[in-house]
A and B are shown apart, each in its own frame.
Chain A
Amino acid sequence: MDTSSFDPTRAVVFDLNRGQVALSGGAAVLLIPAEALAHVCAKLDVAAVRQFGSLLGKPAGGRVRARLSAASPPTLEMMVDQLGGEMSLAGLGSLILERWGQALVVRIESCPLAQGQELMSAYIEAALQAAVGRDVTALVLERGASSIRLLLCSKTASMKVKSWLAGGTSWGDALAALHQSTKNGALGGHV
């Protein structure tokens, strides 16, 4: 069986003498109930939640970059393994990358935070910025019972898609419209 390239060996160190938990070679971390975190996030505004998510994602992306620096360029599978491993260690859920035409969509399964879409959106944006050096907008497409879908796009595209979603368009149709608008723009037409 083909195994992941992410090696979780000694990824989390429990120093019971000092009463600390830390990631290997990293700063101390806390093990807190997901429900308590969700309760706190519900009290915060969107900007604060997103800032909290960025603070979680940036060091994760840095660790991914450190592990992938030898392999150039990293493949899609390698990125899913490494970034997904970081998220699994943090207990934030399972990472899946989908490709819808030309659009990359991040799908997070089994996220323990009931309303964690803004938190995870900020987490992904910061992680990718730190891992591959790209300014990415992770727009929330769908929040299901146990999954979150985020579209990796530019800020301009995210504004278009957000307006379509607000108008009642399904996210699938919005992706199709995004592709069509790109084609029209390439042909010199109006969107």
Chain B
Amino acid sequence: MLESLLARVQRRAAEPRRRSSVVPLSNAMRDVAKAVEGSRPAPVLVATDVAEDDIEEYDDELIEIIDDGDMAPESVPESAPDMRPLELSASAPSVEMRRHVVPQAELPAAPASTGAAARPAVAPPAPALAAAVREALGAEAVSRKPLTATAVVESQGPRRELRAMSFVELLDASLELGS
């Protein structure tokens, strides 16, 4: 059974790239089952008795072969193939995902940076483009309207010129100091 599967995989690798090139393992198994249904006795699938480690190793080789064929230049498809996730069969090791509540203190200190790191990097615009964008945007500034010329300061009680003040008054004020 394994040899037949290997032969099938090799045959598939040599063929041109088709739309659905990643064939889930379970479909392959089904194809094999259908191919031999009418001609030969159905292969004995002892899936339940096969060790999980063996199946895992085979799965890795299968994936590797397919990937090697994809990497060849002459086999590069014109359009990107559809990526379908691998379907896990009953014999495959189960992966259980549990949501783990992370304490607040353990959260990263810079979520912004984490988010930025998670986002794909965006190349900065070219300097000429940036300048053109700035020029097109322009700055909108609002300033006050011009003021009409007018007197701003108004003095009350104009100060008397010293030389015109009464000498006696000034003298009396000086004599009052310290008295």
User: Which residues of A are at the interface with B, using a C-beta cutoff of 8 A?
Assistant: 73-80, 99, 102-104, 128, 132, 134, 136, 151-154, 156-157, 160-161, 178-179, 181-182, 185
User: Which of A77, A136, A156, A157 makes the CB contact (< 8 A) with B171?
Assistant: A136
**Contact A103 to B167, CB < 8 A, known contacts A76-B162, A154-B179, A157-B179:** no
Interchain pairs with CB closer than 8 A, number: 77
Are A156 and B179 in touch, CB under 8 angstroms?
Answer: yes
CA of A80 to CA of B169, assembled, Å: 15
Q: List 20 A-B contacts (CB under 8 A).
A: A74-B167, A75-B166, A76-B162, A77-B163, A77-B164, A99-B162, A103-B174, A104-B170, A132-B168, A134-B168, A134-B171, A134-B172, A151-B174, A154-B176, A154-B178, A157-B175, A157-B179, A160-B178, A178-B177, A179-B177
The answer to whether B176 and A182 touch across the interface, beta carbons within 8 angstroms, is yes
Verify A99–B170 contact, CB threshold 8 A: yes
> In the complex, what residue of chain B is closest to A158 when comparing beta carbons?
B178
Interface residues of A, dominant DSSP: helix
Give Cα A151 to B169, complex, Å: 16
| Number of B interface residues in the complex (CB < 8 A) | 18
Let me know if A75 and B164 touch, CB within 8 A: yes
Contact present for A73 and B166 (CB under 8 Å): yes
Q: Which residues of chain B come closer than 8 Å to A151, judged between CB atoms?
A: 174
Q: Does B136 contact A (CB under 8 A)?
A: no
Residues facing A in B119-166 (CB within 8 A) are 162-166
Other than the given A128-B171, A153-B174, A153-B177, 16 more pairs (CB < 8 A) read A73-B166, A73-B167, A75-B164, A75-B166, A76-B162, A76-B167, A99-B170, A102-B174, A102-B177, A103-B174, A104-B171, A136-B171, A152-B175, A160-B178, A161-B178, A182-B179
Contact B178 A157 (CB under 8 A): yes
Determine the residue in chain B with the shortest Cβ distance to A68.
Answer: B167
